[in-house]
């Protein structure tokens, strides 16, 4: 039983769950700085729903990539439970569906608060979580995965939190959503560059497959550095600490980009993914501290 539980934890990909956590944290902090009236139950339920969608998406990806031939014994990334034969694709997809249902249940009080807009946002988030690698038009196989991440783990996640608390969106919400979405997309871009050879064989047309390694490296550099450039917005709008503190993560970002340009795609890119996740989380936490000062 303990062994099976550990396998499921591997399938959930806990190291990726910061992608669901960071948007909720930064958006809540931004609301607190603007209104001083955070409704914590909203943030809590939104976080639970976001985590469930993220886990469901990871599980669908695990099963779908194996069925489509993208995950083989030669894969460079961490172990995938379907490819390793630990669970059947059908079983993994059933558990994924369970997490999507849990996300919908967590979203019920949020719908009661936010109305039809939140219904649309919630349903789209679940649908896109499934459609990321499954269904007739899998986004990741069409080169749309990066855009999906920027939209849903950036604009939608941050903007949704702001709307639930305040009933409106501001330019600050959109800038913050863009910053967090870009940093989250950097993880996907690094992952796709690492897997360029396997994805080419599987006809998974990610951006590196479509446009080559040079394009992919430039994309990663843009995704990493643009959020720091956008910190100018916070400084010009009188929230200097929110703009300045995240720059403490710039050396990590610069080192990450340097390594990506220097080293050819290989298993060492798994360490780069860890650096990108730390950059995403660190940037977010420093923004939280800065916006609340």
Domains and CATH numbers, the chain: 2-292 (1.10.600)
Q: How many CB atoms lie within 10 A of CB 210?
A: 11
Q: State mean pLDDT over 195-203.
A: 88
- The pTM is what? 0.91
- pLDDT score of 240: 94
What's the mean pLDDT in 232-258?
96
84 CB-contact burial (10 Å; exposed 0-12 / middle 13-18 / buried 19+): middle
Q: Report the pLDDT value the prediction gives residue 3, as an integer from 0 to 100.
A: 59
Q: What percent of the chain has pLDDT over 70?
A: 95
Mean residue pLDDT across the chain: 90
Mean pLDDT calculated for residue range 238-259: 96
pLDDT at position 106 = 93
pLDDT at residue 70 above 80? no
pLDDT at 71: 61
- Note every long-range contact of 44-49, with CB atoms under 8 Å and residues 24 or more positions apart, other chains counting: 45/106, 45/107, 45/109, 45/110, 46/110, 46/160, 46/161, 46/164, 47/20, 47/21, 48/102, 48/103, 48/106, 49/103, 49/104, 49/106, 49/107, 49/110, 49/122
pLDDT at 73 (0 to 100): 67
Other beta carbons within 10 angstroms of residue 174's beta carbon come to: 16
Banded model confidence at residue 67, pLDDT cuts 50, 70, 90: confident
């Amino acid at each position: 039983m303990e062994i099976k539980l550990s396998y499921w934890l591997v399938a959930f990909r806990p190291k990726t769950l910061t992608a669901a956590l960071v948007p909720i944290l930064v958006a809540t902090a931004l609301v607190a700085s603007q209104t001083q009236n955070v409704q914590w139950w909203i943030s809590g339920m939104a976080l639970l729903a976001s985590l469930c969608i993220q886990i469901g998406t990871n599980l669908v990806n695990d099963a779908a990539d194996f069925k489509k031939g993208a995950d083989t014994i030669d894969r460079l990334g961490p172990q995938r439970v379907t490819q390793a034969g630990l669970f059947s694709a059908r079983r993994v997809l059933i558990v994924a569906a369970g997490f999507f249902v849990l996300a919908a249940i967590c979203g019920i009080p949020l719908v009661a608060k936010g109305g039809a807009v939140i219904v649309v946002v919630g349903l789209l988030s679940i649908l896109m979580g499934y459609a990321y690698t499954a269904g007739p038009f899998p986004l990741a196989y069409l080169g749309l995965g990066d855009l999906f991440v920027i939209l849903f783990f950036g604009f939608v996640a941050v903007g949704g939190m702001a709307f639930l608390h305040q009933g409106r969106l501001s330019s600050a919400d959109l800038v913050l959503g863009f910053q967090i979405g870009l940093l989250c997309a950097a993880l996907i871009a690094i992952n796709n560059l690492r897997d360029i050879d396997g994805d080419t064989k599987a006809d998974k047309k990610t951006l590196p497959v479509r446009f080559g390694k040079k394009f992919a490296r430039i994309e990663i550099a843009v995704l990493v550095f643009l959020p720091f450039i956008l910190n100018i917005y916070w400084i010009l709008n009188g929230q200097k600490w929110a703009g300045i503190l995240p720059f403490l993560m710039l050396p990590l970002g610069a080192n990450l980009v340097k390594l990506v340009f220097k080293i050819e795609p290989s298993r060492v890119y798994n360490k780069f993914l860890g650096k990108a996740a730390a950059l995403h989380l660190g940037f977010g936490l420093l923004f939280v501290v800065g916006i609340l000062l």
